[in-house]
Amino acid sequence: MPKISICMMVKDEEKNIRRCLDSIKILLTNDFAELIVVDTGSIDKTPDIVKEYTNNLYFHPWNNNFAEMRNITISYAKGEWIFILDADEELENANELVELFKSIDTKKINTIGVLVKNPSNLTSKEGYMISMSPRLFKNDGDFKYIGAVHNQPLFKEPIYYSNISIWHYGYITNDKALMEKKYKRTASILQEELKKNPNNLYYRYQLGVSYSMYGEINKALEEFRKAYELLKNKKSQDKFVYSYIYSAYAREAYRNEKYREVIEVTEEGIKIRNDFIDLYYLKGFAYYKLGLINEAINTFDKYLKLNDDINNLNIIKDMSISLYNIDNNSKDNVYLVYVQYYLENKNYDDAYKFAKKISDNKRKIYEIINILIKDEKIDELKNVYLNINIDEEKKYFEFVLEEQIDKIEKEKAFLIRRSFSEIDNNYGKLCISLTTDDLNYIYNFIKSLDLNKEPIYYFKLYEKYKENVEMVISQIKCLNTHKQRVVINFLISKCGFEEYFKKYLNNVNYNKHDLQKIVLLKIILEIILKNYANNTDNITNEYYNLFLKYIDLGIIYLKNIYQIDKIRLNYKYIEDGEIRFFMIFYLIKGHLIKNEYNIALKYIREIIEVHSIYAKFIKKFMEEIDIF
């Protein structure tokens, strides 16, 4: 006989079910568990996937009664315990479940609660809502579910509250139509029930939840206010039972930026339940938003103390409570407040202590670099970098460090680079290159790099070659066009290259068939011209001549790529806006040569509509040829 029977009911779950079944696969070995799946009418590949994991697949038509369908799955169970799992869930720690049954006396308990985590998105598990849920039940012949819609297990005590956790992905959906359909159905039912019984606390609360999930935060807040007013007249025991209303009300008031209201309701809720950790979190951030930083810190001290003891709090065992703020994202948000607080008070040691607690590695790296630069602890900064073992995180460290170096005095930047130049990797060599005048070393280092793959800050190396733009061009032209744009933008905006590029462009010679060079020169001109057009009302002759050169290069490019004699017929079908711009200008020039000014003017009007960024240049072009 298996120890547990994992009972599932499914329908059209091919997107989810493999993830779920993979998470319990280890339990299906050595007769520890059996898997029972009842399919209620799938038309996708769900049954085929299930057959890869179990032979216990049964088909029963859906009868519009959740509890009855659950009970059908239970009827097939042969195990000592029944484990209820849904296809959109994933068991996080299967091995711990096996160990749990070895370590506890199951004769003394009838139900086991597990922690259900609802992540806010599929890309990260750092942010989630969590609640205790009864999921494992002794298979004593009496256990069953009741309730056609909100099916509830009729479980027996005693209950064992475990640290076994399940990820539930059912609240994550990109299907807005489905969300709206569910919202309207649920909200309309609750509204009708409240017409019959306007003082029903639970229905009032659920209507607020429905509004909140749909984004109707003003309506949600009004419903929670009404529920709160009803709760104020209840006895203390009732307030304790309905304490989740304090949390929902405070959370919605916070979303509506009613921070003093948040403080008021959280203070009352904490009096009713002093371990309600979410209330401390919301109260702390309400103080923070009001600029009351000392009050925020005092509240967060209590929040963190509760969080340290979270597994021993009674609230974690309360199956009526969902906790939103014990996840890593919430703790990180609090740690960041401490970091800011201590930085403002120039207490760098405590700021560093809290920064190191941040779980999100990118946020942690950013804060640590900022703190250690302000504290001038260069050796510690380097040690942090050396202790990073993941290449992606090392690259992020370098990126943030370079951003911060750009903001500090040159002397401090030099000292940091000198320290990092002792590291035997490309970043160490970059730091050597940026602190030396040995152009041969720099040139050889550049030649050793695959510049298409290097981060943008490596192109700071070209600052040493402003007087040798031809060399810079010869290297950049080998990059892909996307990287070329990024690099040119960087060199112009961060490294002061515009004047050097303009001087080069005014004297450049090029082969009309050297497409690589023509494309790069065209990109440089485009960036310079657009930057200029966005920041001036009057076009100088210098920039107007660059505009004409841009047009000439564009037309040369067209002649190399397209059948030039068919442009008039095809240009409207070209999706690339810049290419279409050059095509129209080619037509304009052709008609001007033939003195066909009316046709040229028609094209000019069209080009201004499509490319308004160049309108000032085109206006000057029209003045020059006297086409008005």
pLDDT grade, residue 298 (50/70/90)? very high
Which residues, in sequence order, are bridge partners of residue 91? 166
Give the C-alpha separation, 25 to 29, whole Å: 7
pLDDT of residue 165: 96
Q: Residue 117 falls within a domain, yes or no?
A: yes
- List Cβ neighbours of 452 (8 Å cut-off, separation of 6 or more): 479, 480, 483
Same domain, 152 and 31: yes
pLDDT of residue 335: 99
pLDDT over 60 at 627, yes or no: no
Same domain, 182 and 143: no
Distance of CA 402 to the CA centre of its chain: 23
Instruction: Return the CATH number at 189.
Output: 1.25.40.10
User: Could you tell me if residue 153 is left (phi over 0), alpha (psi between -120 and 50 degrees) or otherwise beta?
Assistant: beta
pLDDT over 60 at 153, yes or no: yes
Q: Residue 426 falls within a domain, yes or no?
A: no
Q: Residue 8 falls within a domain, yes or no?
A: yes
Instruction: Return the CATH number at 46.
Output: 3.90.550.10
pLDDT over 80 at 175, yes or no: no
Q: Under DSSP, is residue 44 helix (H, G, I), strand (E, B) or coil?
A: coil
- List Cβ neighbours of 361 (8 Å cut-off, separation of 6 or more): 390, 393, 396
Could you give the percent of the chain with pLDDT greater than 70? Answer: 98
336, 363 contact by CB (below 8 A): yes
Same domain, 146 and 197: no
pLDDT tens track for 450-507: 999 999 999 999 999 999 999 999 999 999 999 999 999 999 999 999 999 999 999 8
Boundary of a domain, candidates 303, 327, 351: 327
C-alpha distances in angstroms, 311 versus 135, 229, 277, 278?
A: 18, 32, 12, 15
Q: Residue 65 falls within a domain, yes or no?
A: yes
Same domain, 247 and 115: no
Please give the angle made by the CA atoms of 286, 326 and 161, to the nearest 5 degrees: 140
Q: What's the structural domain count of the chain?
A: 2
pLDDT grade, residue 170 (50/70/90)? confident
The beta strand positions in 54-127, using DSSP E, are 57-59, 81-84, 89-91, 111-119
Same domain, 153 and 209: no
What's the CA dihedral at 516, 522, 524, 527 to 10 degrees?
A: -140
pLDDT of residue 355: 99
pLDDT tens track for 86-116: 999 999 999 999 999 999 999 999 999 999 9
Q: Residue 401 falls within a domain, yes or no?
A: no
Q: Which domain holds residue 83?
A: 4-168
In 3D, which of 369, 440, 444, 447 has the Cα closest to residue 408? 369
Give counts: helices (H), strands (E), the chain.
Answer: 29, 11
Same domain, 160 and 129: yes
Which residues, in sequence order, are bridge partners of residue 35? 6
Arithmetic mean of pLDDT over the chain:
93
pLDDT of residue 518: 93
Boundary of a domain, candidates 168, 187, 220: 168
Same domain, 162 and 181: no
Distance of CA 259 to the CA centre of its chain: 26
pLDDT tens track for 35-75: 999 999 999 999 999 999 999 999 999 988 888 999 999 99
pLDDT of residue 176: 74
pLDDT tens track for 354-372: 999 999 999 999 999 999 9
Neighbours of 609 (CB within 10 A): 9
Boundary of a domain, candidates 141, 168, 195: 168
pLDDT tens track for 308-323: 999 999 999 999 999 9
Give the C-alpha separation, 373 to 396, whole Å: 16
Same domain, 128 and 247: no
Same domain, 185 and 163: no
pLDDT of residue 610: 77
In 3D, which of 221, 225, 199, 203 has the Cα closest to residue 212? 221
258, 286 contact by CB (below 8 A): no
Same domain, 197 and 130: no
Give the C-alpha separation, 616 to 538, whole Å: 8
Give the C-alpha separation, 343 to 351, whole Å: 6
Q: Residue 493 falls within a domain, yes or no?
A: no
Give the C-alpha separation, 269 to 248, whole Å: 11
Same domain, 80 and 228: no
pLDDT of residue 483: 96
Average pLDDT over residues 215-221: 95
Could you give the percent of the chain with pLDDT greater than 90? Answer: 77
pLDDT grade, residue 272 (50/70/90)? very high
C-alpha distances in angstroms, 485 versus 273, 391, 399, 452, 523?
A: 58, 26, 19, 12, 7
Please give the angle made by the CA atoms of 195, 198 and 203, to the nearest 5 degrees: 95
Q: Residue 223 falls within a domain, yes or no?
A: yes
What are the two backbone dihedrals, phi and then psi, of residue 128, each rounded to the nearest 5 degrees? -160, 160
Q: Residue 358 falls within a domain, yes or no?
A: no
Same domain, 94 and 210: no
Distance of CA 341 to the CA centre of its chain: 26
Long-range contacts of 127-131 (CB under 8 A, 24+ apart): 127/327, 127/328, 127/329, 127/330, 128/167, 128/327, 129/322, 129/323, 129/324, 129/327, 130/322, 130/323, 130/326, 130/327, 131/319, 131/321, 131/322, 131/323
